[in-house]
Amino acid sequence: MPKIAVTRWIPDKALDVLRTVGEVVVSPVDRPLTPEELREFVAGSSAVVSMLHDRVDGPVVDAAGDGLRVVANVAVGYDNVDVAALAGRGVVVTNTPGVLTEATADLTFGLLLAITRRLGEGERLVRAQRPWSFHLGFLLGSGLQGRTLGIVGPGQIGRAVAARAAAFGMRIVYSGRSRKPDFPGEFVPFEELLARADVVSLHCPLTEDTRHLIDATALQAMKPGAYLVNTTRGPVVDESALADALEAGEIAGAALDVFEAEPDVEPRLLGREDVVLTPHLGSATVETRTAMAVLAARNVVSVLAGAEPLTKVTP
């Protein structure tokens, strides 16, 4: 039976799918494997089910051996996988698009509401049992009706966020590599989006072009009262520059579900009341995480059976 290495726990439903075609070995440690541990763990594998924190590159494939046929990444993004290096070694790479769209869009809009309506501040105040009383100037936030949401990256998740924003009465502008004729909003250049949006929501993949896309220059181009929401990949935002911008009052606030060096966060963001922080919860529902793992497992089954995978990544 071919060995299938699973680098961290996945739901039993997905493990059952994998066991139909091979011997499944799950990492015994509940943490990201070090590069050395990962290379040792995948040795002799025909398939690897990887997580977004696993750096899967040429040395990992070499450590696995000539029998490795597929790496199934349990994520939409695959910036942690050197797709070109794996393709050059004849290894198929797959991801899990589609199944996490609604959950991530829900979380995005939850963060948007949390930062614009100051929900985190209010919750912390109550939990700390600090004295408060209702008055008309108490913890005033920003309404959404008639405001402009700028979506950077008009993919499936960006589209789902736009639908939610429209239901709240927001206007939509978007930017990306190309215009999407059926996208529910106005296509504008990135610089114009920054200047017009009351909320900027990031949904672009992490590439060399988008790394630190939101840097000091981009933050200075945003409205002084604007908010930033990031639920895509942490390195799209320069966290140090974001802290500088908040300290200088260049923007009103930020909500982040992802970080440059997870689980570490820029220390200056941690104590700020105008920042909402969540630990990469975009896809964190039972239904969604199970669907992601099952899709990854089905991709493994397809490749080991000699068929085309359902969601193949191409270099």
Interval 110-143: pLDDT, tens: 999 999 999 999 999 999 999 999 999 999 999 9
Are 184 and 254 part of one and the same domain? yes
Beta-sheet pairing, 70-73 with 199-202? unpaired
Are 85 and 170 part of one and the same domain? no
* Buried/exposed code over 254-265 (b: 16+ C-beta within 10 A; e: otherwise): bbbbbbbeeeeb
Are 141 and 237 part of one and the same domain? yes
pLDDT beyond 90 at 315:
no
Is 186 among the catalytic positions?
Answer: no
Are 126 and 80 part of one and the same domain? no
Alpha-carbon distances, residue 247 vs 251, 268, 293 (angstroms): 9, 9, 40
Are 34 and 176 part of one and the same domain? no
State the pLDDT at residue 313. Answer: 97
Contact by Cβ (8 Å): 218, 194: yes
Is 262 among the catalytic positions?
Answer: yes
> What is the percent of the chain with per-residue pLDDT over 70, rounded to a whole number?
100
CA dihedral 33, 35, 36, 42 (to 10 degrees): 70
State the pLDDT at residue 287. Answer: 98
Are 130 and 231 part of one and the same domain? yes
Please, what's the largest Cα pairwise distance for the chain?
69
Query: How many folded domains does the chain comprise?
Result: 2
Whole-angstrom Cα distance, residue 26 to residue 309? 22
Domain span at residue 193 reads: 101-277
The pTM assigned to this predicted structure is 0.94
Name the active-site residue from 118, 147, 159, 280.
Answer: 280
Q: Which residues sit opposite 277 in a β-bridge?
A: 256
Choose among 307, 315, 309: nearest CA to 89: 315
* Buried/exposed code over 64-76 (b: 16+ C-beta within 10 A; e: otherwise): beeebbbbbbbbb
The number of CA neighbours under 13 Å toward the Cβ of 63 is 16
Are 64 and 11 part of one and the same domain? yes
Type and span of the H or E element at 254: strand 253-256
> Which CATH number fits the domain that encloses residue 248?
3.40.50.720
8-33-41 Cα angle (round to 5): 80
pLDDT tens string 198-255 = 999 999 999 999 999 999 999 999 999 999 999 999 999 999 999 999 999 999 999 9
Are 78 and 89 part of one and the same domain? yes
Are 118 and 162 part of one and the same domain? yes
Name the active-site residue from 39, 262, 268, 272.
Answer: 262
State the pLDDT at residue 231. Answer: 98
Beta-sheet pairing, 92-94 with 312-313? antiparallel
pLDDT tens string 145-183 = 999 999 999 999 999 999 999 999 999 999 999 999 899
State the pLDDT at residue 76. Answer: 95
Are 115 and 184 part of one and the same domain? yes
Whole-angstrom Cα distance, residue 146 to residue 100? 28
Phi and psi (nearest 5°) for 152?
-100, 105
Name the active-site residue from 233, 239, 260, 298.
Answer: 233
Are 82 and 206 part of one and the same domain? no
Are 309 and 177 part of one and the same domain? no
Whole-angstrom Cα distance, residue 301 to residue 296? 9
Is 117 among the catalytic positions?
Answer: no
pLDDT tens string 9-50 = 999 999 999 999 999 999 999 999 999 999 999 999 999 999
Choose among 188, 183, 182: nearest CA to 200: 188
Other beta carbons within 10 angstroms of residue 280's beta carbon come to 18
